[in-house]
Structure 1
Amino acid sequence: MTQYVDWKFAKTAGARLVPPGPDVSHEEAAETVAQIRELAAASVAPVAATSRMTAPGDAPAALVVDRPTWIEVNADSMAALLDPALKVMAERRDKEPWAAAQAIGSKLTGAEAGGMLAFLSTKVLGQYDIAPDGTPALLLVAPNIASTERELSVDSRDFRFWVCLHEETHRVQFTAVPWLREHIIGRARGLATDLMPDAESLRSRLEQVTTQLPRVLSGDGQGLAELVITPEQRERMAEVTAVMSLLEGHADVVMDDVGPEHVPSVATIRERFTKRRKGAGAVDRLLRRLLGLEAKMRQYRDGAVFVRAVQERVGVDGFNAVWTSPETLPSALEITQPDVWVRRVHG
């Protein structure tokens, strides 16, 4: 739906706005990429052994990318995810906007999307891109991994392997559980469509901005979306967030459990990385809150607590019952009360 968002322009704007990565020589960059690729392959066996889940043989291998490539991939995924919702919004509009307004508006929203992607591309270390209309891929963002290991003053090999363990866990989640990818895509598209207001509801929701903005800036909500969602939509968002918390928490638990044997300095890395997740300066923290990244950080924490608690009660195999079907995923209540999930699933 390029009449609303010019995704091609978003890619161009993002590539122009993104800051360069760390200042390294060509040889050092090549060595970094080669080692990350090697460690990504080495992470497959320990993640499978620890999680007791195995990716199928045809699952895509990890791709080591730079920031502009990450922007391009995610622009495509965002477009595929949001197009159904934008189509609904087009059907709800009162009248067709004139062509010049469409062109200008799509460029503006494209620039905004590009700016957001440029900011995020400097933060993300790795990602399993579920590619709603494309081929899923595991992405490892080399310049961000290199700059973060420098920032934390940690052993580079250990840190790179630790990141690969987390992202390999996501690859296992989405490839060993056949229904999970389509379930996440369906839930995300459904939520995005539900969040698209018609003209009348948009006017009423905009009146909430002045009262909701302090909550967004406090970091207690879901970012800018908090400004316009209804209580019912907030409940649906909480259910989707619970699943994302499960995925992120599970990956954190696996990476740390593999760590002691394969990543000697894992305790130091975890301590320093946890502090980093809180954000550095005031501007960085503000942007994180507006984009909902503070809520993202809580997903790691809440999800890891859930996974640990369930595994203590019923073991790893008992926890893996969570992957049986969409019905066995934790609810928004259960992600913070693991015993409730254990009683429902295991009796």
Structure 2
Amino acid sequence: MRVPVTGADAAAPRDPGPAIDWEVAAGIGRRLARGGPAMTRYTRDQVYAELAEASARAEAPVREVTGLADGLAVPAARVIDRGEWVGAAAESMRSMTGAAAAAAADVDEDPGFDAGGDADDGGLMATLTAKAGGFQAGGLLAFLSGAILGQYDPFTEDPSTGDDGVLLLVAPNIVAVERKLKVVPSDFRLWVCLHEVTHRVQFSANPWLRDYMVDNLATLTAAGEETTTELVSRVVAAVRSDKPRESGVLGVMQLLQSPEQYDAFTNLMMLGTLLEGHADHVMDAVGPAHVPTVAQIRAGFDARRTAPRNPIARVMRALIGMDAKLAQYIRGKAFTDHVVDAVGMERFNTIWTAPDTLPRPDEIDEPDRWIARVL
């Protein structure tokens, strides 16, 4: 660890500012986000009230099936529109990247002096770069605002409790999907809440998951000391090597990132796969007893996930990783189904003990390996 210079004569480190201006991102995203399906004021109020009630009603059966979060408080969900989701997502990203930056600073206290150049010019360039990043991020948030049904955000403070973590339900998107699938609205709303409430239970019962995400994000986003020449040399050597690599986007990430960054990226991918698959497992375990039309909803929703899309939509989904997200649901649910069938939910919950008990890449598709190693 480098020891920073201290005292009156020490030069203050120059803060280049955020890589993305999230205020700009939120403003652009809100302007570009579409309003959603038409609803009367009465219908809108009814939808908001039912979603809030469904999120509270989902908590008990989710806790019963998972065996997690027993005795913890049940905070209210935030039911929001697309513009509000954009603002919430931008704030979450600001908090998440800020926490990751703070964690990275704790690892290596480097005063970061600028050996040459004008500090004012550097600060101006950083500001312009952050605003340009904000424009790009805003467009992405606008696109996503029409696709997200709900999410649990562990990085944003819940205004009702003051604790980290808030459950968001995007009302217009839920209404749009239930209308397209022609399903019973009350059943679909509860079904969506079962999935999202499971995420809240996961993080509420296991607070270390948030810190684990922050630590890996800090590694993933840390500015390395590798020069362009060194990066190119490492990529060329990796291409020529006989060492096996992942295919597709994962293989590209493996080439471009340092070994430490790729390990952090893999850790986050495995965690996401587990969280999504576990939530889908719980949704299906709870559904038959609480959602009368669950079979129709599941069939329609799965068909919607895999339906053909126009070329532009396909490109956008690939760029932002939505197809990888679908793979997480499928792989994670298969893993959870297998382990729970083999050993029961109580022993499955050993998985939430610590980072070492989370599934490894070679175990997510072969769950018996995880059982042998951990249990």
TM-score norm. by structure 1 comes to 0.86
Q: Could you report, residue by residue, the CA deviation over 1:291-331 in whole angstroms, capped at 9, with x for unpaired residues?
A: 11211111101100000010111011111111122221111
Q: Work out whether residues 93 and 199 of structure 1, in 8 Å CA contact, stay in contact via their aligned partners in 2.
A: no
Give the counterpart of 1:158 among 152, 169, 187.
Answer: 187
| Alignment-derived partner of residue 307 in structure 1 | 336
Cα–Cα, structure 1 residues 132 and 187, in superposed 2: closer, same or farther, change >3 Å?
farther
Q: How far apart are the structure 1 equivalents of 2:261 and 2:48?
A: 42
Q: How far apart are the structure 1 equivalents of 2:332 and 2:209?
A: 17
In structure 2, what residue type is equivalent to 1:118?
A
| Alignment-derived partner of residue 10 in structure 2 | none
| Alignment-derived partner of residue 131 in structure 2 | 107
In structure 1, what residue type is equivalent to 2:196?
E
- For these two proteins, the number of residue pairs brought into alignment is 335
SS of residue paired to 1:136: strand
In structure 1, what residue type is equivalent to 2:374?
V
Q: Which runs of 5+ in 1 are unaligned?
A: 213-218
| Alignment-derived partner of residue 310 in structure 2 | 281
Cα–Cα, structure 1 residues 138 and 3, in superposed 2: closer, same or farther, change >3 Å?
closer
In structure 2, what residue type is equivalent to 1:124?
I
| Alignment-derived partner of residue 30 in structure 2 | 15
| Alignment-derived partner of residue 221 in structure 1 | 249
1:54-93 map, 5 Å = 54=69, 56-83=71-98, 84-85=100-101, 91=112
Q: How far apart are the structure 1 equivalents of 2:331 and 2:195?
A: 16
Give the counterpart of 1:201 among 228, 238, 247.
Answer: 228
Q: Work out whether residues 148 and 173 of structure 2, in 8 Å CA contact, stay in contact via their aligned partners in 1.
A: yes
| Alignment-derived partner of residue 252 in structure 1 | 280
CA positional deviation for 1:223: 11
Q: Could you report, residue by residue, the CA deviation over 1:143-202 in whole angstroms, capped at 9, with x for unpaired residues?
A: 111111112221111111100000110111000123222222222232222xx4568339
Q: Work out whether residues 56 and 176 of structure 1, in 8 Å CA contact, stay in contact via their aligned partners in 2.
A: no
| Alignment-derived partner of residue 216 in structure 1 | none
- Pick the structure with greater CA Rg: 2
Q: Work out whether residues 55 and 172 of structure 1, in 8 Å CA contact, stay in contact via their aligned partners in 2.
A: no
Q: How far apart are the structure 1 equivalents of 2:142 and 2:224?
A: 27
- Percentage identity across aligned positions? 39
Q: State the superposition RMSD in angstroms.
A: 3.0
Q: Which runs of 5+ in 2 are unaligned?
A: 1-15, 158-162, 240-246
Q: Could you report, residue by residue, the CA deviation over 1:16-45 in whole angstroms, capped at 9, with x for unpaired residues?
A: 011111111111111000011111111011
CA positional deviation for 1:271: 1.7
Cα–Cα, structure 1 residues 135 and 122, in superposed 2: closer, same or farther, change >3 Å?
same
Alignment pair present for 1:129 and 2:153? yes
SS of residue paired to 1:79: helix
Alignment pair present for 1:189 and 2:185? no
Q: How far apart are the structure 2 equivalents of 1:36 and 1:90?
A: 49
Cα–Cα, structure 1 residues 132 and 335, in superposed 2: closer, same or farther, change >3 Å?
farther
SS of residue paired to 2:155: coil
Q: Work out whether residues 222 and 292 of structure 1, in 8 Å CA contact, stay in contact via their aligned partners in 2.
A: no
In structure 2, what residue type is equivalent to 1:115?
G
Q: Work out whether residues 59 and 74 of structure 2, in 8 Å CA contact, stay in contact via their aligned partners in 1.
A: no
Q: Work out whether residues 132 and 185 of structure 1, in 8 Å CA contact, stay in contact via their aligned partners in 2.
A: no
Give the counterpart of 2:299 among 246, 255, 271.
Answer: 271
SS of residue paired to 2:306: coil
CA positional deviation for 1:250: 0.4
SS of residue paired to 1:129: strand
In structure 1, what residue type is equivalent to 2:34?
P
CA positional deviation for 1:76: 1.6
| Alignment-derived partner of residue 61 in structure 2 | 46
Deviation larger for 76-85 or 164-173: 76-85
CA positional deviation for 1:226: 7.3
Q: How far apart are the structure 2 equivalents of 1:92 and 1:268?
A: 61
Deviation larger for 46-55 or 223-232: 223-232
Q: How far apart are the structure 2 equivalents of 1:327 and 1:164?
A: 30
| Alignment-derived partner of residue 7 in structure 2 | none
Give the counterpart of 2:270 among 231, 242, 247.
Answer: 242
CA positional deviation for 1:258: 0.7
Q: Could you report, residue by residue, the CA deviation over 1:194-221 in whole angstroms, capped at 9, with x for unpaired residues?
A: xx4568339956x98xxx9xxxxxx942
